[in-house]
Amino acid sequence: KGESLPEVPFFPSETKEKIIENFKKRLRGAEIPPYMIEAESENGENLYGEVNSALLEEKGEPVGVIGVVRDVTERKKAEENLQEYKSAVEASDDSIYMVDEDYRYVFANDEHVTRLMDAGRIEEGDKDRIIGLEYKDIHPQEEWEAFRKNAEKVIETEDSLTETFASLALDRWSERTYSLVKDPRTNEVKGVVVVSKDITKQKEALREAKTVRALLDAFPAHVYYKDEEGRYVYSNESSSSAKRISFNGPG
């Protein structure tokens, strides 16, 4: 509205310089591809625009440049959010990967690739090569059939599914959650994402606890434990007439 570009208040100085420089280049006949600019709203919110420019000519001579700015703020924010999500996924200690409807890998984070290498399923340095491979290409038949069964159920019911999985190759336990992925615009099924959490330590602790309990239950004396308020927390299976061994809590 009567203001020259350098006086427009919501354009940062860097953006103004970028626009003016590109307009000058366009006047000289250079082709300028669409480019991104940043602005600021009256309340301080960051705004993003994509600029397309066209040369105005009169009698074959350039007389000006017309620029069209398309608001791409929402797209830019979505891209930034996606990048943050990807960074979090890559940094996760959980194995995270996605397969499409044909069970081909479309994504795998570093932890998943590391587990595949540790199990001897892929060679070191093959991280990028996993994309496009079918799940059955790098997993044993039994694992593949179980995976396909779970993935098919998730696609059919559209509900998440969680299972406990034992990796014989690594002597590891994991808790795997399968979730459906859809295109938010078309509602079309795009595939299944799997988050695999290592629960080996929890399993080992539970196994040790069961072993200790079995030993105590077989002990010839009566073994019991009370908490601070005198309540029985544990008592083995020996008869009450057997010699008693007490493990009382503090106090």
β-strands 61-71, 222-226: how paired? unpaired
Taking the whole predicted model, whether its pTM rises above 0.75 is answered as no
User: What is the amino acid identity at position 204?
Assistant: E
User: Quick one: pLDDT at residue 186?
Assistant: 87
Domains present along the chain, CATH in parentheses: 5-75 (3.30.450.20), 93-198 (3.30.450.20), 203-248 (no CATH)
User: Quick one: pLDDT at residue 141?
Assistant: 94
The label of the residue with tokens 């020996």 reads 238
pLDDT along the chain (251 residues), means of 10: 49 84 88 88 84 87 86 80 65 86 91 88 76 92 94 95 76 86 86 87 66 67 70 65 48 42
Phi, psi of 14 (to 5 degrees): -65, -40
User: Quick one: pLDDT at residue 1?
Assistant: 41
User: Quick one: pLDDT at residue 225?
Assistant: 66
